[in-house]
């Protein structure tokens, strides 16, 4: 029984040695071939293949597709310093001067229902948001000086 085991072991070792020799030969052949040729790219070709800027990507997203109208990306704005008399309609009217307003909300206290002095406005197109921020920050609305920023998650 040990003779058969030794023969099987010898056959396995010979097979392992054969694979090792073949691998070494493949390595040697690759070394002799040398590195493959590098593609030479000129400046114009490189510039033509660079990825588009963020602004270009956003324009593509908003561009009309297949003859239909493109969908504008909305922007949510935080409005602080509101008067307690300011309503959602008053807020919406103030922002409509700078573009289409999708939504305007004045945040109220749950228990009393009174305004908490801030709100949110959703501009239908994000491109109108910077104009609204610049135009309304430090302006007066219902007798109070307001400030406007891009809204962020809590």
The model carries a pTM of 0.55
Per-residue pLDDT for the chain (154 aa), expressed as one digit of tens each? Answer: 567 778 888 899 999 999 999 999 999 988 888 777 777 777 777 666 666 677 777 777 766 555 445 577 899 999 999 999 899 999 999 999 999 999 999 999 899 888 899 999 999 999 899 999 999 999 999 899 999 999 888 7
Residue at 47 is within a domain: no
Q: How many distinct structural domains can be found in the chain?
A: 1
- pLDDT computed for residue 18 by the predictor: 95
- CATH number for the domain that contains residue 96: 3.30.70.330
Residue at 19 is within a domain: no
Task: Please give the helix or strand (H or E) that residue 18 lies within, else none.
Answer: helix 2-33
Reading the block at residue 51, the tokens are 């990825």
- pLDDT computed for residue 79 by the predictor: 94
How far apart CA 36 and CA 34 sit, in angstroms, is: 7
Residue at 137 is within a domain: yes
- Give the pairing of strands 144-150 and 101-108: unpaired
Closest CA to 77 of 141, 146, 143: 146
- pLDDT computed for residue 55 by the predictor: 76
- pLDDT computed for residue 2 by the predictor: 65
Q: Which domain holds residue 113?
A: 69-150
Reading the block at residue 85, the tokens are 């008399």
Reading the block at residue 3, the tokens are 């003779």
* DSSP state, residue 40: P
Residue at 26 is within a domain: no
Residue at 117 is within a domain: yes
Region of 152 (left: φ > 0; alpha: ψ -120 to 50; beta: rest) is beta
- pLDDT computed for residue 76 by the predictor: 94
Residue at 3 is within a domain: no
Find the helix packing angle between 88-96 and 129-136, rounded to 10°: 110
């Amino acid at each position: 029984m040990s003779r058969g085991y030794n023969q099987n072991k010898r056959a396995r070792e010979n097979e392992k040695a054969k694979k090792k020799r073949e691998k070494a030969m493949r390595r040697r052949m690759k070394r002799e071939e040398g590195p493959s040729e590098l593609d030479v790219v000129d400046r114009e070709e490189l510039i033509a293949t660079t990825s588009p800027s963020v602004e270009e990507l956003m324009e593509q997203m908003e561009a009309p597709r297949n003859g239909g109208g493109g969908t504008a990306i909305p922007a949510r704005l935080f409005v602080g310093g509101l008067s307690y008399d300011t309503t959602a309609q008053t807020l919406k009217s103030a922002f409509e001067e700078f573009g289409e307003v999708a939504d305007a909300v004045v945040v109220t206290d749950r228990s009393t229902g009174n305004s908490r002095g801030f709100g949110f406005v959703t501009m239908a197109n994000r491109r109108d948001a910077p104009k609204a921020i610049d135009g309304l920050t430090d302006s007066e609305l219902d007798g109070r000086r307001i400030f406007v920023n891009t809204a962020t998650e809590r």
